[in-house]
Structure 1
């Protein structure tokens, strides 16, 4: 009998984890997805690498696995180019699914105890984008961390589902509304400006035109100053899981 699809996927994932572990010489955990835009993301937590990869990588040849390891470890520009070529050759495996259908599978929770992200998004959309940004917004899940945070990703934008996620640590009475607005505005700009590759071959998610546009935010300098003065407050924030 042929193995069940889910069991086969687990086997291939474990094989891929082992292939990367031997190259990174560190613990590796992998989630396999079927996204339509973002083919790979990764984070490093102490001695462990956590990757989210499109299923096309399950049977990738050794040179691509080595490029993936080089990109994850050092952000190597040549490795990034090699990965882009691999993705381009295998784009037939990318399933086409509309953002609307993808959002139906997600739990969207934009109303916080102190900041309503939906209202903030709508007002910014009208003020700065003539209400042309067709995206959804929500508070993201509280990341599981042990001990004090050393960094915090305050927002993210998924081009696959067109969903903006805001870190729940921002939903506090001490966090001013203009600061939350700035973070939302920043993520809305990712809907407008897609990542580009620079002259050095590196992928740039904040091209110059993105940064120029961000400075048009009405409280840009005040929001930056508040972040500089209160980053520790956000790092220490306790949020519900």
Structure 2
């Protein structure tokens, strides 16, 4: 009689087992219910939100077999934004980059809905002119208005722009697409994000990420309306915080 070989567990079943184990590890440290979703994103490795008595986390699959100190750091970062925990998580992600799918910036941009033309400010035209004037048209990136964040009540802060080094996409907050927002101010925000393409994020001597190195901030002062744009922001920040933007 032929001997029957053991059947290997299905990958999806194995994934569920590992997910439940990690949920228990996090639940113990957070002392709260945890709902965990595992993904294979190429950019954002972890997100989380609190829903009443439950924490909902979305984690890259690299965290499934994370050692205890990393799981402890994950709990500390989720619970109170512990900066030391953030440094440890950054280092863990950096060590495990081999598990992140490799996509070219062009492939990633195909998945992004690019909408650079606003009602009042055309970001693509602004980008092209700045690129020619300051960078000899050497910035190989795309630009778009970002999605409007869902915010209840008045904003307390606003992130006016961002740059993704993976996809090489600049996103500008749609609150800037107003007739009362001067063109030179939008240009300044776009210029700042273009500088992120030139000066990449690095680590300081203390191990923390340095998003705005000193040479980048010095370079930013070369913008032709630098002082005027800063002055407008100081005097009109409330205009941007109160802007009503309909989510896409």
Q: Structures share a fold, TM > 0.5? A: yes
- Name the counterpart of 1:138: 144
3-state SS of 1:156 partner = strand
- CA distance, structure 2, for counterparts of residue 119 and residue 45 of structure 1: 42
Hey, what does 1:108 align to over in structure 2? 114
Determine the C-alpha separation between the residues in 2 that align with 1:45 and 1:122: 43
Structure with larger Rg = 2
Report the Cα offset of residue 111 of structure 1. 0.2
Q: Identify the residue that residue 76 of structure 1 maps to in structure 2.
A: 83
Mapped to 1, the partners of 2:51 and 2:182 lie a distance apart of 30
Counterpart CA distance in 1 for 2:92 and 2:142 is 31
Distance 1:3 1:13 in 2: 14
Write the deviation string for residues 180-239 of structure 1: whole angstroms up to 9, x where unpaired: 111111111111111121222221111111111111111111111111111111111001
**Residue aligning to 1:224:** 230
Shift of 1:164: 0.7
Distance change >3 Å, CA 199–CA 225, structure 1 → 2: same
SS in 2 for 1:157: strand
1:86 aligns with 2:92: yes
Q: How far did residue 14 of structure 1 move?
A: 7.4
CA pair 111-32 structure 1, distance change in 2 beyond 3 A: farther
SS in 1 for 2:163: strand
Question: RCO higher in 1 or 2 (8 Å CA, sep ≥ 6)?
Answer: 1
In the other structure, the counterpart of 1:149 is 155
Tell whether 2:181 aligns with 1:175. Answer: yes
The counterpart of 2:167, out of the listed 161, 183, 186, is 161
How far apart, in 1, do the equivalents of 2:176 and 2:200 lie? 25
Q: Which moved more, 1:197-206 or 1:111-120?
A: 197-206
Root mean square deviation, CA, Å? 3.2
The question of 1:119 aligning with 2:125 is answered yes
Structure 1 residues 176 and 24, CA gap change in structure 2 (3 angstroms): farther
Structure 1 residues 143 and 16, CA gap change in structure 2 (3 angstroms): farther
> Which is worse superposed, 10-19 or 91-100?
10-19
Name which of 217, 237, 240 aligns with 2:243. 237
Structure 2 residue runs of 5 or longer lacking an equivalent are 1-6
Q: Which runs of 5+ in 1 are unaligned?
A: none
In structure 2, distance between residues paired with 1:145 and 1:32: 26
Contact 1:21 1:27 in 2 (8 A): yes
State the TM-score, normalized to the length of structure 1. 0.83
1:56 matched residue in structure 2: 62
SS of the aligned residue for 2:147 comes to: coil
